[in-house]
Amino acid sequence: MARPLALSIVVPCYREARRVQRTATVLAEYFRKRRGPFEIILVNDGSPDATEREARAAARRLREVRVLSYARNRGKGHALRKGILAARGKRLLFLDADLSTKPDQFPKLETRLINGADIAIGSRKMKGAHLVRRQPWWRENMGKVFTGLVRRLLVDVSDVTCGFKAMRTDVAKELFSKQVLNDWSFDAEVLFLAERSGYRIDEVPVVWKDNPDSHVRVLSAALASLKGLMLIRWNVARGQYGRLDRPAV
């Protein structure tokens, strides 16, 4: 009988043909040094380039890798939902394909899960975080505005959009099965649902490096995310998320 998996690592991929194999290799080599079997789930989010081909090549080389893929680009939130609902590990980590936060930061998050947290999220903004290369000033300031709105309207965390988060897999499946937003506001939605459902969220300072080759169209993503915050409040008001353990206000 196969041993149960200790960890599922989910990586959303959009137009990542140039680096998806290297990313998979770095992750496999790091987690093979740790105790416990794991899986790496590469989710191709309808990329127009050779991302799927390169991801499947990685899966042929690396026994821990499997690939989920679909034809139409749906957004990072959708890609993560597909990967998380297919995860088989006891705990779950998701991170960006550019490895802006490297896997050696995972033990910080794992310690929090072991000590009782349901969710542990990386933060670039709390004391102890280290930014190897910062974002351009205008991107940082847009992020500050978005985080400020999230803290005021939804959930009080210092860095809602850091793409390095770990969860108990059963908690992740519950939250992402309720999640409906696919754009960059999905982070705020999931953490809002977690807080309202009474789950413990710990923040952990991480080492992070900006990727200047990001495929994100910042202005359109920011506008969509701001719209998403309003949609979350509207969805709560009309019962979109079903019953939450804590009363919505």
pLDDT: which is higher, 147 or 194: 194
User: What pLDDT digit, counting tens, does each position of 37-89 carry?
Assistant: 999 999 999 999 999 999 999 999 999 999 999 999 999 999 999 999 999 99
Q: Is residue 245 part of a domain?
A: no
The whole-number pLDDT of residue 15 equals 97
User: What pLDDT digit, counting tens, does each position of 101-114 carry?
Assistant: 999 999 999 999 99
Instruction: Give the chain's radius of gyration (CA, Å).
Output: 17
Q: How many other CB atoms are found less than 10 A from the CB of residue 19?
A: 17
Residue 2, pLDDT above cutoff 60:
no
Q: Is residue 242 part of a domain?
A: no
Alpha carbon distance 153, 131 (integer Å): 27
Question: Looking at residue 231, which CATH number applies to its domain?
Answer: 3.90.550.10
Look at strands 38-45 and 119-123 and give their pairing. Answer: unpaired
The position carrying tokens 């200047």 is 212
The position carrying tokens 């550019």 is 98
Residue 141, pLDDT above cutoff 50:
yes
Q: Is residue 24 part of a domain?
A: yes
User: What pLDDT digit, counting tens, does each position of 122-136 carry?
Assistant: 999 899 998 866 555
Predicted TM-score of the model (pTM): 0.90
Contact 73, 45 (CB under 8 A): yes
Q: Is residue 163 part of a domain?
A: yes
User: What pLDDT digit, counting tens, does each position of 25-34 carry?
Assistant: 999 999 999 9
Alpha carbon distance 228, 240 (integer Å): 14
Look at strands 119-123 and 165-168 and give their pairing. Answer: antiparallel
Name the amino acid, one letter, at 211: N
User: What pLDDT digit, counting tens, does each position of 185-223 carry?
Assistant: 899 999 999 999 999 999 999 998 877 665 555 556 666
Residue 246, pLDDT above cutoff 60:
no
Look at strands 91-94 and 119-123 and give their pairing. Answer: unpaired
Q: Is residue 84 part of a domain?
A: yes
Output the 3-class SS for 119-154. Answer: EEEEECCCCCCEEEECCCHHHHHHHHHHHHHHHHHC
Strand partners, 205: 123
Domain coverage including residue 200? 7-237
Domains identified in the chain, total number: 1
Contact 150, 229 (CB under 8 A): yes
Q: Is residue 248 part of a domain?
A: no
The position carrying tokens 């019953």 is 243
Q: Is residue 244 part of a domain?
A: no
Q: Write phi, then psi, for 5 (nearest 5 degrees).
A: -75, 140
Contact 78, 111 (CB under 8 A): no
Structure tokens at 177: 């099965």
Q: What H or E segment, with its residue span, contains residue 208?
A: strand 207-209
| Average pLDDT over the chain, rounded to an integer | 89
Q: Is residue 181 part of a domain?
A: yes
